[in-house]
Amino acid sequence: MKTRTKVIAAIVFLDFLALNLYAAWASGLGGFVDYLGEMGPWGMVLGADLVIALTMVVAWMWRDARKKGRNPLGFTILTIATGSLGPLLYLLTGKDARA
């Protein structure tokens, strides 16, 4: 990954981490499930869409990790627990292909 791309990914990762920490502090860890339940049918759509998208990302991560000799299990667990933080950290910790 190019240095500029890694810098952008790092900024997104740190901002999203801060947002996750704030949400956990402000509404507790169960707040996300409560929020989706309050939204009714659109909450179900949002939740399903999130699961579908993250499942595709995790599938890509496992294939990519297999090619590069990396262990994606920790990143997968982080993805299940926090969403995009897992894939972002996976991208940030990968070796530059040019190195």
* 35 occurs within a structural domain: yes
* 43 occurs within a structural domain: yes
* 98 occurs within a structural domain: no
* 99 occurs within a structural domain: no
Give tens-digit pLDDT for 66-99. 999 999 999 999 999 889 999 999 999 987 654 4
Please spell the DSSP secondary structure of 17-43, one letter per residue. Answer: HHHHHHHHHHH-TTHHHHHHHHTTHHH
* 83 occurs within a structural domain: yes
Which residues constitute the domain of residue 42? 3-93
List all residues 6 or more positions away from 43 whose beta carbon is below 8 Å from its beta carbon.
Answer: 35, 36, 37
Number of domains in the chain: 1
Q: Model pTM?
A: 0.80
* 26 occurs within a structural domain: yes
What integer is the mean pLDDT of 31-40? Answer: 75
Local structure of residue 84 (DSSP, 8 states): T
* 60 occurs within a structural domain: yes
Buried b (16+ CB within 10 A) or exposed e, 6-26: beebeeebeeeeeebeeeeee
Lowest mean pLDDT among 4-18, 20-34, 56-70: 20-34
